[in-house]
Amino acid sequence: MAGVSEAASEELSNWRPLDSSASEFTSAARWAFAHILSSQWPRNGLAEQRMRGLTLIKPVQETRLPMAFVLLQEGSSSPAAVIGGAVLRDLRTYVSAREFARLQACERACLALSVVVEQNWQGLGHGRAVVSHLEASARERGCTIMYLFSDNTVEFWSKMGYTLLPGEPSRNGKPWMRKQL
Ligand SMILES: CC(C)(COP(=O)(O)OP(=O)(O)OC[C@H]1O[C@@H](n2cnc3c(N)ncnc32)[C@H](O)[C@@H]1OP(=O)(O)O)[C@@H](O)C(=O)NCCC(=O)NCCS
């Protein structure tokens, strides 16, 4: 299946991705990402809790996952320049063995989490850019299929080429979607 509109994200020249493996991925950048996450999902934890989760993102050598990244406004290294970001995890280590089987997943399946664009930057193509970098990062790590559970954004994910899983499995009421990479 074709990747998410690489052409469209290339047109946006005002951002660059900053991966958690980079020394520039400082705690200030993580704090900025944590604040965006807690403003979009206030019920799922304060920025402090989000920050703790992001600090724990240390890749396992074999899978090189989990990883996180933020989109930074080009030309700025200020944490205020964080536009959005996402977290990429290994599916098998995130879900139970039962859920893994129910999802009919394979060893090379990964999971997109915390995909977000800061509110003032939404609607400008940055969500597409986040997904594009997320998928490229997954491919680089040998993943062949991306899973996610959608938070009221099925239509957005459908536009990115994701499909709902047959049989309507959900996680806490959020439907599972996936895409071959
Ligand atoms: C979902 C989200 C990441 C989209 O980011 P964005 O920067 O606004 O998205 P883009 O501008 O790149 O939009 C890409 C396309 O998706 C569409 N789209 C964006 N958000 C949408 C939504 N909530 N529902 C339906 N379509 C949507 C856009 O209209 C655009 O379509 P087009 O290419 O036909 O013009 C952003 O709204 C967000 O952070 N929401 C809160 C957190 C969230 O729900 N994340 C998803 C977790 S499952």
Which of 133, 147, 153, 174 for a ligand 1 pocket mutation test, highest count of atoms within 8 Å of Cβ? 153
Q: What angle do CA 50, 137, 19 make, to 5 degrees?
A: 50
- Crossing angle of helices 47-55 and 27-40, in 10° steps, is 130
- The predicted-structure confidence for 82-138, as pLDDT tens digits, reads as follows 999 999 999 999 999 999 999 999 999 999 999 999 999 999 999 999 999 999 999
Q: Is 12 in the pocket of ligand 1 (CB under 6 A)?
A: no
Can you name the residues that pair with 65 across neighbouring β-strands? Answer: 60
Identify the band that residue 40 occupies on the pLDDT scale cut at 50, 70 and 90. Answer: very high
- Give the phi and the psi of residue 121 in degrees, each rounded to 5: -105, 0
pLDDT at 7 over 60: no
Largest CA distance in the chain: 46
Torsion sign, CA atoms 100, 102, 108, 109:
negative
Q: What would the two tokens of residue 118 be?
A: 């800061």
Torsion sign, CA atoms 35, 37, 42, 48:
negative
Q: CB of 126 within 8 A of CB of 140?
A: no
Taking the CA of residue 155 as reference, the ligand 1 atom at the shortest distance is: 25
Q: Is 38 in the pocket of ligand 1 (CB under 6 A)?
A: no
- The predicted-structure confidence for 8-39, as pLDDT tens digits, reads as follows 444 455 889 999 999 889 999 999 999 999 99
Q: Is 87 in the pocket of ligand 1 (CB under 6 A)?
A: no
Specify the higher pLDDT residue, 49 or 14.
49
How far, in Å, from the CA of 127 to the mean position of ligand 1? 6
How far, in Å, from the CA of 53 to the mean position of ligand 1? 24
CA distance 162 to 148: 9
Coil, strand or helix at 82: strand
Q: CB of 86 within 8 A of CB of 114?
A: yes
Residue nearest to atom 32 of ligand 1 (CA): 159
Q: What would the two tokens of residue 31 be?
A: 């704090």
Residue nearest to atom 15 of ligand 1 (CA): 156
User: Which helix (H) or strand (E) is 140 found in, with range?
Assistant: helix 126-140
Taking the whole predicted model, whether its pTM rises above 0.95 is answered as no
Taking the CA of residue 41 as reference, the ligand 1 atom at the shortest distance is: 42
